[in-house]
Amino acid sequence: MEISTLTMYHCLVFAWYFFVACSITHVRTEEHPSEVFLYGGQWKYLTVLNLVLQAVFYGVSFLADVLRLIKKLRCAKCVISSRDLLFSVLAFPVSTFVSISFWTLYTYNRELVYPKSLDGVIPLWLNHAMHTAVLPFAVLEILATPHRYPAKKKGLVLLGFVAFLYISWVLWIYSVTGEWVYPLFALFSPAGLTAFFAGSLAIIVSFYNFGEFLNRMIWGQSKLCF
């Protein structure tokens, strides 16, 4: 993709994610039919955190494109390194995990992850923006431009660390409120919940590996051009 076209694409997707993130923060929580937004607000949900992550990633991508357009190659190289690390370790695996896990659980029993009462709070278009559109955007990013992946050990350590932080946040919320972020978690014993978290981590690691595989198959081992 030409750099000018890529710049416009990243600008538009950044604007989209910024708009969606703002939209979910302006949901009128005082009208919610349950205690779903108490303590931590929307910021306890991986879906919402992913929206912020994607907005940051596409903002960094847009900045990298602009620097390349104006021939600030030294600065562009540094920004592109940050962009690639964000995409490989977080943006692709997390968005893929959010979309696939959400719709799998929603199909099985939506009350476990997205109670029907939320239909009166969150518009249908916003639900799909948060849980559906994130996956094709992630795939399109791989098709649009190559990304350098870090050494496998480094990438997985960083991904595992972020996963540990989120799980710690979930457990902290439960310790304070006595309520789980997702109703699904209440079904498990402590051992079962540990196994569930471990399984989820294994799945998101597989998405990391899949993203690396796609990137390599489409772009080979070619280096980025500035």
Tens of pLDDT, residue by residue over 131-165, are: 999 999 999 999 999 999 999 999 999 999 999 99
Sequence letter at residue 1? M
> Is there a domain that residue 55 lies in?
yes
User: Domain span at residue 152?
Assistant: 5-219
Segment 63-84, tens digit of pLDDT? 999 998 887 778 888 999 999 9
pLDDT above 80 (res 36): no
Whether residue 113 is contained in a domain is answered as yes
Q: Is residue 170 part of a domain?
A: yes
pLDDT in tens, 90-147: 999 999 999 999 999 999 999 988 988 888 888 999 999 999 999 999 999 999 999 9
Structural domain contains residue 225? no
Distances (CA, A) of 66 to 60, 82, 181, 199, 224: 10, 15, 39, 40, 15
Q: What is the Cα–Cα distance from 118 to 110, expressed in whole angstroms? A: 11
- The pTM is what? 0.91
114 lies in a domain?
yes
Confidence band of 33 (pLDDT split at 50, 70, 90): very low
Distance CA 224, CA 217 (A): 15
For residue 49, give the H/E element and its range.
helix 46-69
224: in domain: no
Mean pLDDT of 163-181: 93
State the pLDDT at residue 130: 96
Number of domains in the chain: 1
Q: Which residues contact 130 (CB under 8 A, 6 or more apart)?
A: 20, 24, 47, 48, 50, 51, 98
Q: What is the pLDDT of residue 73?
A: 75
Q: Over the chain, what is the mean pLDDT?
A: 90
CB atoms within 10 A of CB 187: 13
In a domain, 20, yes or no: yes
The average pLDDT across 3-17 equals 95
CB-based contacts of 79, cutoff 8 Å, min separation 6: 60, 63, 64, 67
Under a CB-based contact definition with an 8 Å cutoff, are residues 33 and 120 in contact?
yes
